[in-house]
Amino acid sequence: MRAKRLEIGLSQTGLAEACGITFQQIQKYENGANRVSASRLWQFAAVLGVPVDYFFAGLGKNELPASIAKRIDDETTKLARRIAELEPALKKKLRGMLAAFAAP
């Protein structure tokens, strides 16, 4: 977002005003401190004059940014550890529940 904003000569304040938010929010979005919702991403795309997929250029269909992949890996590892600590009877029930969710 920052690169396109700078490319067209738009300030953080200008983008913020066009979107009805504060420039501090733009700073947080650009620095990655706040997540950008789908509707806000669409709004940024409209103001910057680009399609929404512009923000995903360079990503393969199944590729995730490293920070997101690491977060998913960390959450998966925590979940696996918690499951491993369950009593056998509870693990069996969990397997049954997951199988039910996976069934077509």
**22's tokens:** 């504060």
pTM confidence score: 0.57
Of 66 and 29, more confident: 29
Q: Are 65 and 59 in contact (CB under 8 A)?
A: yes
Residue 42 has pLDDT above 90, yes or no: yes
Triad 20, 26, 31: Cα angle to 5°: 165
Q: What is the chain's length?
A: 104
